[in-house]
Amino acid sequence: MCLRSGALRLRMHDAHEDPLEATDEDEWPLADYPADTETLDLIHLKLKEVVSLHLERFLELKVLCLRQNQLEEFPEPRTLPRGLEELDLYDNNITEIPEYTTFGELHTLDLSFNCIKHIRNLERCKKLKNLYFVQNKISQITGLEELEGLVNLELGANRIRVGVVRHDMARINELWLGKNKITKLKGLETLQNLRILSLQSNRLTSISGLEALANVLEELYLSHNGITSIEGLRMLRRLRVLDISNNKIENLEHINQNEDLQELWASYNQLSDFGNIEKECKSMKRLVTIYLEGNPLQKMNESTYRNKIRLILPWIKQIDATYVQI
């Protein structure tokens, strides 16, 4: 979000030099920047506040990046242009979103790598489409009731234990919940626009409740859990990408019912039988990529493993990181 061509960028190159420090008592930082500036990248400048920057002067500003600073408070709307469309506050020290936060045109907000515990006070940002809260302290998915246009929600690396999906998330296309503490999911039946679901690095031991997404889900990421069976996946007929790497799966039962599957990542499980791979995958003519490294069938047959997979699946284009067809 910060690296747009034509953006005006400032970065702290010297710890003893502040490029925003005024040289005259009547001069204010950014005085030389044109009033019609549309994108500003103020990255890694040790900023503790933005009031003194008078950013409200830039009436045409659409994209503001304040990554890697020392902000402890969310900028007050009155200090920023009303037409702001993208606001990036990644890697600061912000603890909460204040009341009456109003950005009528904002469609992307990144608050990743902060100290936020609750999602709230965003109801006046009605045009929000993309919302990022990676690596915060959030334990519940709440505060989204008024964000009817939200399509992409990223909550990876938080403290969520139960993925309770609410009715107000019905328009979500992408839901990223990796690296939490989730043991089960509830309310998935409301997500009838969901295309991508990421549950990597959680505490799932089984797959359940996904049948509600049978007609919509296209990509599912379940790596680094404790899953032993893929039984709950057979109903996902539109699935194109499936990542079940680093689990405890012993066979690919009924995977052939996912007829649209193009990419299967199943590395580092307990798959040991080439016969099971043939039985379950030989009818999957749309499958072009398969990852099976780190399984017993690869470890015990290192010299012949790839050739055996090619014989079983002669149309396959990629086995692990190796392209076998161009």
Q: For residue 291, give the CATH number of its domain.
A: 3.80.10.10
Using pLDDT thresholds of 50, 70 and 90, give the confidence band for residue 187: confident
For residue range 108-144, list pLDDT tens digits in order: 999 999 999 999 999 999 999 999 999 999 999 999 9
pLDDT of the residue at 8: 58
- DSSP state string for 100-126: T---TT--EEE--SS------S-TT-T
Reply yes or no on whether the pLDDT at 5 is more than 50.
Answer: no
Classify residue 248: in a domain, yes or no: yes
Phi and psi, residue 188, nearest 5°: -65, -20
Residue labelled with tokens 């995977």: 255
Instruction: Give the DSSP letter of residue 88.
Output: E
Using pLDDT thresholds of 50, 70 and 90, give the confidence band for residue 15: very low
Could you give the angle at the alpha carbon of 179 between the alpha carbons of 89 and 208, nearest 5°?
130
For residue 184, count CB atoms less than 10 angstroms from its CB and return exposed for 0-12, middle for 13-18, buried for 19 or more: middle
pLDDT of the residue at 1: 54
Reply yes or no on whether the pLDDT at 24 is more than 70.
Answer: no
Instruction: Give the DSSP letter of residue 98.
Output: P
What's the pTM value of the predicted model, to 2 decimals?
0.91
Classify residue 283: in a domain, yes or no: yes
For residue range 230-275, list pLDDT tens digits in order: 998 999 999 999 999 999 999 999 999 999 999 999 999 999 999 9
Residue with the bigger pLDDT between 5 and 180: it is 180
pLDDT of the residue at 13: 40
For residue range 147-175, list pLDDT tens digits in order: 999 999 999 999 999 877 766 788 999 99
Classify residue 236: in a domain, yes or no: yes
pLDDT of the residue at 10: 58
Classify residue 267: in a domain, yes or no: yes
Structural domain total, the chain:
1
Classify residue 114: in a domain, yes or no: no
| Residues 305, 299, 301, 258, CA torsion sign | negative
pLDDT of the residue at 189: 86
Reply yes or no on whether the pLDDT at 21 is more than 80.
Answer: no
Quick one: which of 171, 214, 179, 217 has its CA closest to 199? 179
Rounded (to 5) percent helix, strand, coil in the chain: 15, 15, 70
Reply yes or no on whether the pLDDT at 293 is more than 50.
Answer: yes
Q: What percent of the chain has pLDDT over 70?
A: 90
Reply yes or no on whether the pLDDT at 23 is more than 50.
Answer: no
pLDDT of the residue at 3: 46
pLDDT of the residue at 280: 97
Reply yes or no on whether the pLDDT at 12 is more than 50.
Answer: no
pLDDT of the residue at 284: 97
Classify residue 181: in a domain, yes or no: no
Domain extent for 286: 204-326
Classify residue 153: in a domain, yes or no: no
pLDDT of the residue at 319: 98
Average of per-residue pLDDT values in the chain = 91
Classify residue 124: in a domain, yes or no: no
